Copies of this chain bind each other. A is one copy, B any other.
């Protein structure tokens, strides 16, 4: 009987758990609200509940489950199975593995959500076959996932690939992380919305101002991009500045790691080819020299399944390598 993995995507808003086969196909999926203000024990109980529901939906008994992978919006330490830092959930040193293995006793591996989503794309998505890739999620924040030699790279201390928190403007816009000038402040959906609101205020006769009815809270990333598509000059200027920032951030990835492929995911990537073409067009401007060879830039294809698939696939790759990770009993 072929092996099955549980993939869990723990987000600030919702928990998704699924049964994934060894090719990265999702056989079933169950969801639940995260409600992050609760004690972590309750959140973990609901993670286990989603996993159980997904198992019964796929008619998959516990004996077929090889391992559990969890993607979290933060940083984990797998030696101890602890979430050491997770801003959105307000988690600090949460013993996630110990807690979850009270419900399901299988090997559990925890990793950053962008890291596992990037790995998912490299196993079953747009970067399949690439030995090196960098994944950028363009959402409320900016997350990063690095694959090197076909394996997820999380660094020597598990704090790598925080590509949203590289400084791109020394003493720039203050960031939620406490630093200033982070990539996230210039390349996230939040940044695009901020720029859109500034433009609407400055240009009350723009399409952005018109469609939002003068209410800044109605200006979303999608609205700004839709207005740019319509040719509104204020929106086009904002979109031009945003894609320029993104091209600079991608050039930093090229100059640092030079991967085979850079993959764009997250909410903003739903703008599709309109975004992709604009970003691709701007990259050459920031290359070190004109004839320099560099990565392909593509859109993610796995959508919001990526976290779940990636969590399962990372735990599979680690189980197969026989690396040290364990259920709570072995700790």
Binding site for B on A (CB under 8 A): 75, 84-85, 131-132, 144, 146, 148-149, 153-163, 165-170, 172, 177-179, 186, 245, 248, 251-252, 254-260, 286, 288-289, 291-295
Contacts and interface: CB of A to CB of B under 8 A. Distances in A.
Nearest to A163: B256
B156 A132 contact: yes
Q: Most chain-B Cβ atoms within 10 A of its Cβ — which of A172, A178, A258, A292?
A: A258
Contacts of A148: 148-149, 153
B252 A167 contact: yes
The A interface, classified by DSSP as helix, strand, loop or mixed, is loop
13 contacts: A157-B293, A157-B294, A159-B255, A159-B288, A159-B292, A167-B252, A168-B168, A168-B170, A169-B170, A170-B186, A170-B248, A178-B289, A179-B286
A69 B168 CA distance: 35
Nearest to A289: B85
Contacts of A163: 255-256
A157 B256 contact: no
B154 A258 contact: yes
A255 B288 contact: no
Contact of A155 (B149, B245, B259): B259
Contacts of A157: 258, 292-295
Contact of A165 (B85, B166, B288): B288
A320 to B, nearest CB: 17
A295 B156 contact: yes
A179 B288 contact: yes
Given A85-B289, A131-B156, A167 B168 contact: yes
Give the 7 A-B residue pairs with the shortest CB-CB distance, closest first. Answer: A155-B258, A160-B258, A157-B293, A156-B260, A162-B255, A166-B252, A159-B258
A139 to B, nearest CB: 17
Contacts of A146: 257
A175 to B, nearest CB: 9
A155 B257 CA distance: 6
A148 B161 CA distance: 14
Nearest to A252: B166
Contacts of A158: 258, 293
A256 B256 contact: yes
A283 to B, nearest CB: 12
A30 B85 CA distance: 53
A259 B156 CA distance: 5
A198 B94 CA distance: 50
Contact of A166 (B75, B255, B292): B255
Contacts of A177: 288-289
Contact of A256 (B160, B248, B289): B160
A256 B166 CA distance: 7
A295 B172 CA distance: 25
A273 B40 CA distance: 45
Given A85-B288, A170-B248, 20 more contacts: A85-B292, A132-B156, A144-B256, A146-B257, A155-B259, A156-B259, A156-B295, A157-B292, A158-B258, A161-B258, A162-B256, A162-B288, A163-B255, A165-B255, A166-B255, A169-B169, A170-B186, A177-B289, A179-B286, A179-B288
